[in-house]
Amino acid sequence: MSSSIDLNAFIDHPINDKTFESTIPPIALREDCIAGIDEAGRGPVLGPMVYSLAFFPLSEESLLKKLDFADSKTLTEEKREEIFSKIGENEYKKIGFLATVLSPVTISNSMFKRSKYNLNQLSHDTAIALITRAQQNGVKIKKVFLDTVGPADKYEAKLKHLFPDLTIKVSNKADSLFPIVSAASVCAKVIRDRVVNDWKFIEPNLHFSKEDYGSGYPSDPKTKSFLSKNLDPIFGYTTFVRFSWSTIKNILDDKAIDCQWEESEDEEPVVESKPTKKISNYFKAVNSEEKPQKTRLNAFLKERNLEPITSPQDFCHF
């Protein structure tokens, strides 16, 4: 087994999320395992966010402390690649992992939902899905350690409710406290770096390299230059960019063309000063000696093939 992993399933279709899996060490199917979860790419304005779950036999947990794992942010890219390449071989042969790559499109669409759904909720749901998938694959997870997203106590309580048979610990800086979380951190960072370095722009006639757009963090001069030079005043940016970031919103507000949506011809214009109609307005008494006047339907009702009833007694027909 080797950690050599083909990421083309995502690279060739970067608007669709994808979960990648290492080969499962046989011991992980027989013995209880410890698992760690961490992410890479939460802060950048460009590219995906990657969540990874690493697992290792609980009986050999002490061995993890002797390996080279550390918070991926404290390691050079070369060192991370070196460690990642060892997973599945020699003293690293009992480590397995899963990693979910969340596309910039998913991140933006999630945060733009009409019902509130922020990055923390997306992170929670991704971590939950990784634990569930590992269990479905037969990995005998017993303990899970995670870096916190939002208040640690609330996140931990949420996970314990969903996985009552597991021992779960959510901590600040878990990637520097628990080697198994450090392992997940390395996996997530290496996979994100590879995807960003080899990004394929799906928009026609767009060809850039990492030298053009940098790390993707808003403070990176190369990223700033990329965003400044590649704004379409009408359509905004390529799908490589997270539209939900405040950095992008500020640029669009300042430099993009303001677009207004026209109302359809058969729809009445909305007058803001006009008070909202009460539902009781649709209950109109009809004088038996008078011919009922035809009421012009509100666009909302018309689109749904609904008609106003003449009296509350009409409810008996439903």
Residues 51-101 pLDDT 10s = 999 999 999 888 887 887 766 677 888 999 999 998 888 778 999 999 999
Judged by average pLDDT, the poorest of 108-117, 151-160, 248-257, 274-283 is 274-283
Residues 36 and 142: their CA atoms lie apart, in Å, by 11
- Share the mean pLDDT of the chain: 85
CA 22 to CA 5: how far, in whole Å?
8
On whether the CB atoms of residues 180 and 64 are closer than 8 A, the answer is yes
175 annotated among ligand-binding-site residues: no
pLDDT tier at 262 (50, 70, 90 boundaries)?
Answer: low
Query: Is the distance from CB of 233 to CB of 255 less than 8 angstroms?
Result: yes
Confidence of residue 276 (pLDDT cuts 50, 70, 90): low
Give tens-digit pLDDT for 204-252: 888 898 899 999 999 999 999 999 999 999 889 999 999 999 999 999 9
Residue that wins the pLDDT comparison between 169 and 112? 169
Residue 67 is predicted with a pLDDT of: 80
Specify the pTM. Answer: 0.79
Which domains are present in the chain?
8-197 (3.30.420.10), 279-317 (no CATH)
Give the pLDDT confidence score for residue 170 in this predicted structure.
97
Query: Helices in the chain by DSSP H: which ranges?
Result: 8-11, 26-30, 61-64, 77-86, 104-111, 119-136, 152-162, 174-177, 179-197, 210-213, 221-229, 246-255, 299-303
Segment 289-304, tens digit of pLDDT = 555 555 565 555 565 5
What pLDDT was estimated at residue 116?
A: 79
What is the per-residue pLDDT for 317?
47
pLDDT exceeding 70 applies to what percent of the chain? 80
Cβ 99 vs Cβ 51: under 8 Å: yes
| The pLDDT value given to residue 260 | 75
Q: Is 71 flagged in the annotation as binding?
A: no
Question: Is 39 part of any known ligand binding site?
Answer: yes
280 pLDDT above the threshold of 90: no
